[in-house]
Amino acid sequence: QVQLVESGGGLVQAGGSLRLSCAASLSIFRFNAMGWYRQAPGKQRELVASFTVSGGTNYADSVKGRFTISRDNAKNTMYLQMNSLKPEDTAVYYCNVVQYYSIWGQGTQVTVSS
């Protein structure tokens, strides 16, 4: 069974940066889709960033220009670099991959103070 281990969340002041990591237990080449989602209290889970089928990237309008999704195939790890963080970015962040079905990480809390 595929396991995803997330790390890198924490408390940061507005304007600061964090980098989230999502390490997979098998080669990420085996995944059909990969991305980051977030869920704020009282809100639905939303897509933050993802890799497209063609190998490009896709971002929510709210994070464009501030967040960058990347991957290290040799380390089987996906990253989310978050810059210029805002209080409204506060949420639990989840990595997600799709192999034969959708698989979620355990989530990591990101809190941005004003």
How do residues 8-45 score in pLDDT, each as one tens digit?
Answer: 999 999 999 999 999 999 888 888 899 999 999 999 99
Cα 5 from Cα 62, distance rounded (Å): 25
Q: Determine the pLDDT at residue 55.
A: 79
- Model confidence at 4: pLDDT above 90: yes
Cα 114 from Cα 20, distance rounded (Å): 20
Six-digit token pair at 50? Answer: 């993802």
Task: Give the residue from 17, 11, 13, 14 showing the smallest Cα distance to 83.
Answer: 17
How do residues 73-110 score in pLDDT, each as one tens digit?
Answer: 999 999 999 999 999 999 999 999 998 899 999 999 99
Q: Which residue has the tokens 């990347």?
A: 70
- Model confidence at 1: pLDDT above 90: no
